[in-house]
Amino acid sequence: MSVKSFFIACALLFFAASEVFAQQDPLFTNYMFNNLYVTPAFAGVDGVTRLTAFYRNQWTGYQAFGGAGGAPITQMVSFNTPIYKLRSGFGAYVLNDDLGPQNNLTIQAMYAYHLGIKDNKLSIGVKVGAFSQSINGAEYKFIDQNDNSIITGKESQVKPDLGFGLFYRSEKYYAGIGFNHLLRSQFDFGANDVRNALENHVNFTAGYFYEMSFDLNFQFSTLVKTDLNKTSVDLSAIAFYKSKMWGGLGFRQSEAASVLLGYSFLKDRSLRFGYSMDYIVKAQDAKQPTSHEFMISYELPVNPGSGKKIVRTPRYRH
């Protein structure tokens, strides 16, 4: 089976499912600019050193239990760089996901090896890190106050985490797959009856670039997330004008429609700012209707001593 056939088969498998699964890992509407989070194999693939930060406020204004808050807020900072002498790349990120009474903090480091296939590139990556989960039992409301599994105070645990992935890139399209939480670490917080495990998750992403003119380019992309039981699908289309500004639309299966905007600053367009807004189209009674997400990224100047001349292609500068 060819590499292209492999990714097509994966995509068909994931699209066959139709149910949306509950959020365990945080989601990002600007996922097409955050492939390092989707799969560790993206580390160093685009040949530039990049720092990126995300801030997401989901269901802005959501209040639980009559005003106790609880709207999910996610922050992520990542670093990504090629290692030319080893034909590979290194990446790392820190992610904080605040879910009201529960907080998840993840620190991951990843390494990817790059294989040239004619004019294309296949990357194989692995990530290792730690997953910290904290719970404040005082913010929960329990039906059975005598339940032995109840956690009354603040508890935290740290567990190891492991992931693996592949990423394939050509001039006009890309496809990647990432496998998360392979260790299925469990958090019991000292209670024998509690078995809160990290579920295995698979992320599949793909994109296609279409050049309408010298100044106008389009990117069509998708992200499929599954826990091998239920599946969520994101679709998006973005127009880039003169490689300096962009705007597009997105849709998250059975959940939200999105607007994405962005602009590149500085002469070499190395500083980028992105914004997206989601509007809930299903089950508004259980959520607030809008979510907001901000992205900022900076590409460090190319080191002349690297021996590699970088030809900047806007479609890969995410």
Would 30 be classed as within a structural domain? yes
CA nearest 245: which of 221, 216, 210? 216
Other Cβ atoms less than 10 A from the Cβ of 26: the count is: 21
Expressed as residue numbers, the domain containing 212 is 3-127+163-183+202-316
185 confidence band (pLDDT: 50, 70, 90): confident
pLDDT for 193-209, tens place per residue?
556 788 899 999 999 99
DSSP 40: G
Q: Assess if residue 98 is contained within a domain.
A: yes
Query: What whole-number distance in Å separates Cα of residue 273 and Cα of residue 220?
Result: 19
Between these two residues, 22 and 184, which has the higher pLDDT value? 184
What is the per-residue DSSP string for 181-236? -TT--EE-TT-TT--EEPPPEEEEEEEEEEE-SSSEEEEEEEEEEE-SSSEEEEEE
Task: Establish if 285 belongs to a structural domain.
Answer: yes
Q: How many domains are there within the chain?
A: 1
In a domain, residue 134? The reply is no
Q: Tell me the pTM.
A: 0.83
- On whether residue 99 sits in a domain, the answer given is yes
93-102, 145-154, 234-243 — which is least confidently predicted? 145-154
Mean pLDDT of all residues belonging to the chain:
84
**How confident is the model over 167-191, as a mean pLDDT?**
90
Enter the DSSP assignment of 39.
-
